[in-house]
Amino acid sequence: MVVTSTERVLIAGAGPVGLSAAAYLTRRGIPVTVFEAEDRLPENLRASTFHPPTLDMLAPFGASQALIEQGLKAPKFQFRDRANGCLAEFDFAVLADDTGHPFRVQCEQFKLNHLLHDWLLAQGGADVRFGHAITALRQNGDGVTALVETPDGGQEAFKGRWLIGAEGANSVVRQALEIPFEGFTWDERFLVVSTPFPFETVLPDLTLVNYFADPEQWFFLLKVPGLWRAMFPTRPEETEEEIFDPDRIEVRMQWAHATATPYERTHTTLYRVHQRVAQSYRAGRAFIAGDAAHINNPLGGMGMNGGIHDAFNLAGKMAAVWHGESDDGLLDLYEKQRRPIALDYVNSQTIRNKQNLEAKTPEAQQNFRNFLAEVSADRRKTHDYLLRTSMIASLRAAAKITA
């Protein structure tokens, strides 16, 4: 087998995480080769929220402004219930001194893939290989070699200084490294329904991101350009056929907001929800990032954002070592900084978000409402809360880990 041996960084996955790492490394003058198993850029519809610090990171590549232009600026979000309307509203303007982007942007994640890929092409020499799937890897003190299945069904070997596995929750890189993916899977699956129905006209105080607490059927309602997305938990005993039954979907939508006519639906998706964090993020010269390293429920929009934060953290350290600004030991700090964030911030916060929305007992429901009232009434507490929900706090906490 011919081995393509180059002094570069190999990256598995041309999604937001892999392409963010590729863009950062390219900007620092480091060659990269990105392997994408699909024959085109992934157009996954799941993630759609870009948090303030993520926009700060993406700004040097022109991606933040483009996302703003292609998406919707969401300066506020709400917690609501069906009976009483808005329980609390939070405004990211409070973070004006903490970020250059004191708002969220609602935009489909696949648009970022195109923006970063276009930026890479504009730099010249970008090596993004579609239809190339990493199947195995081996490594030694000199580098890491990825065995790659090519579009014609053949196999090639590519050698680089390091490899980043950013190809999602079923990461071949993580599996090849035999890294346990610890955690659990929620019993219920999540159903996402997209509709052009103008919720903002019937609920005029609605923001672009809204969490509806309810002990019987909580749901999540957010807007992307041209569409509203409603996300519902399903019952564990429901079959897929029952969940996708049009009449049952209509019942759920009418629960969200009763209308005189049935809802027009443009897209429905059902997926399992996990809370898992890899036991380690590094094995020799190979690393994992994003969903390959951690997955969580989508409440709070922390999954994709956390993955992009992984990418910038790791790529920054690789660049420092590559250019002789630090020794290889710096790369160990990546796991030390990012894994606790996945455990203590992202996992904990998203689990708490779900538990608050589905609170069953009157006591638990009142505790959540008391918490919202307390935070809303105190500007300092509001500021601290928004630092956490925007993921600025987790980045600051990671930066304090220096050994």
pLDDT at residue number 4: 64
d(CA 334, CA 311): 10
Q: What is the pLDDT of residues 109-156, one digit of tens each?
A: 999 999 999 999 999 878 999 999 999 999 998 899 999 999 998 999
The 3-state DSSP class for residue 157 equals strand
**C-beta pairs of 43-46 under 8 Å, 24+ apart in sequence:** 43/110, 43/113, 44/15, 44/109, 44/110, 45/108, 45/109, 45/110, 45/192, 45/267, 45/269, 46/109, 46/192, 46/269, 46/271, 46/298, 46/304
**Whether the model pTM is above 0.85:** yes
d(CA 113, CA 281): 23
Task: Kindly tell me if the per-residue pLDDT of 2 is higher than 70.
Answer: no
Q: How far, rounded to the nearest angstrom, does the alpha carbon of residue 289 sit from its chain's CA centroid?
A: 11
d(CA 224, CA 388): 23
d(CA 186, CA 401): 31
Q: What is the pLDDT of residues 359-397, one digit of tens each?
A: 888 899 899 999 999 999 999 999 999 999 999 999 999
Closest to 102 measured CA to CA, from 92, 111, 113, 117: 92
Q: What is the pLDDT of residues 35-65, one digit of tens each?
A: 999 999 977 767 889 999 999 999 999 999 9
Work out whether strand 104-106 and strand 72-74 pair parallel, antiparallel, or are unpaired.
Answer: antiparallel
pLDDT at residue number 347: 63
pLDDT at residue number 5: 66
Whole-Å CA distances, 267 to 46, 47, 73, 255, 264: 12, 15, 23, 18, 10
pLDDT at residue number 356: 85
Beta bridge partners of 222: 209, 229
What is the second-level CATH architecture of the domain 3-79+99-184+274-399?
3-Layer(bba) Sandwich (3.50)
Task: Kindly tell me if the per-residue pLDDT of 313 is higher than 60.
Answer: yes
**CATH (residue range 186-271):** 3.30.9.10
pLDDT at residue number 346: 65
Decide if 3-79+99-184+274-399 and 186-271 have a common fold. no
d(CA 266, CA 101): 31
Residue 293 burial (CB count, 10 A) = 31
Report yes or no: 144 and 163 within 8 Å, Cβ to Cβ: yes
Closest to 8 measured CA to CA, from 166, 140, 143, 121: 143
- Looking at per-residue pLDDT, the higher value among 275 and 209 belongs to 209
Residue 295 burial (CB count, 10 A) = 27
Closest to 33 measured CA to CA, from 169, 161, 172: 161
Tell me the domain boundaries of the chain: 3-79+99-184+274-399, 186-271
pLDDT at residue number 6: 75
Task: Using pLDDT thresholds of 50, 70 and 90, give the confidence band for residue 1.
Answer: low
Residue 114 burial (CB count, 10 A) = 15
Q: What is the pLDDT of residues 327-357, one digit of tens each?
A: 999 999 999 999 998 887 666 777 777 888 8
Task: Using pLDDT thresholds of 50, 70 and 90, give the confidence band for residue 3.
Answer: low
Crossing angle between the packed helical segments 303-322 and 16-27, to the nearest 10 degrees = 30
Burial of 353 (0-12, 13-18, 19+ CB in 10 A): buried
Q: What is the pLDDT of residues 90-107, one digit of tens each?
A: 999 999 999 999 999 999
Q: What is the pLDDT of residues 153-198, one digit of tens each?
A: 899 999 999 999 999 999 999 999 999 999 888 888 999 999 999 9
SS (H, E, C) 7-54: CCEEEECCCHHHHHHHHHHHHCCCCEEEEECCCCCCCCCCCCEECHHH
Report yes or no: 285 and 139 within 8 Å, Cβ to Cβ: yes
Please name the residue that has the structure tokens 């209308």.
Answer: 259
Q: What is the pLDDT of residues 255-295, one digit of tens each?
A: 999 999 999 999 999 988 888 999 999 999 999 999 999 99
Strands (E), 75-218: 76-81, 85-91, 104-106, 127-130, 133-140, 143-149, 155-160, 162-165, 181-185, 190-195, 209-212
pLDDT at residue number 265: 96
The 3-state DSSP class for residue 261 equals coil
